[in-house]
Structure 1
């Protein structure tokens, strides 16, 4: 039996959808390019509700901003999760760092609002979403961006990590999917 160290597999819900597994573009590339699993529209943050609240804050308008207006503006600023249809397996002392493509902010006005994403080894095959990797993106451009299925959306780099001396090892097992370890 072959002992697999690290790599990528298609999530079961995408097996019949011709998903592209991440690949390195050149011989010396550190990152594996990830591709969108489906067409995805990423709206601009510059929606009327957000602009209205921003204008009221900027001009220090005397009118109060309602909780409904604030909530709608906040929703316009929320990043969206672009699916890849892919999961990653790795050793227990490794993680997959997700990073933006260098061309995304410059050419398409797309950013990862958290800077980088971290995919832990125990995210693989978690019970909530099977470990599917998503890229959290925010569009600060003036118009919506259509991300086409198979288009490069980000990159991932496998890295080792070290533990602190005298650490009390966590006993909790991962129960959920995206963002579940922060609870």
Structure 2
């Protein structure tokens, strides 16, 4: 698969893989961005991509950002739909409640591109029975 990408800022770093077989493309901060305590900050990457129809782009946290810098993605996993063509911005929040600074060029997230199923919704009176049923959170113990 070819992933069309364009720079939205002339000095942005292109997405990279640390190893040729890595699943995610590392996204870099396009500018030095202050991260305020207890505030979600959108960090620009300077990159826009064209996710193919039938696929989704997932923004996932880099473990090193959490372990070394005590920051993570505010929404857990971000979704980039195939119709979006704007700049990718990464919502970062500090885990420790402290002020931080993300420098331009810092790897801040990973982009995964995965195939998806686009189901048609069929509203029914009852769902098919399973052994688990509606047993949810904590139903299998801790």
TM interval, shorter chain, is 0.7 to 0.9
Q: Name the SS for the 1:107 alignment partner.
A: helix
Structure whose CA Rg is larger: 1
- Report whether the alignment pairs 1:10 with 2:3: no
Structure 1 residue 146, shift from structure 2 partner: 1.1
- Report whether the alignment pairs 1:79 with 2:40: yes
Q: Which has the higher helix share?
A: 1
Q: What TM-score do you get using the length of structure 1 for normalisation?
A: 0.62
Q: Find the aligned partners of 2:32 and 2:46 in 1 and give their Cα distance.
A: 12
What corresponds to 2:33 in structure 1?
40
Structure 1 residue runs of 4+, over 3 Å off? none
Q: Find the aligned partners of 2:75 and 2:32 in 1 and give their Cα distance.
A: 23
Aligned residues: 122
Query: What are the superposed Cα offsets for residues 146-177 of structure 1, whole Å, 9 maximum, x if unpaired?
Result: 1111111111011111121467xxxxxxxxxx
Query: What are the superposed Cα offsets for residues 13-57 of structure 1, whole Å, 9 maximum, x if unpaired?
Result: x13xx2111011102200000000100010222xxxxxxxxxxxx
What corresponds to 2:108 in structure 1?
153
Q: Given that residues 24 and 32 in structure 1 are in contact (C-alpha distance below 8 angstroms), is that contact kept between their aligned partners in structure 2?
A: yes
Q: C-alpha root-mean-square deviation of aligned residues, in Å?
A: 1.7
What corresponds to 1:108 in structure 2?
69
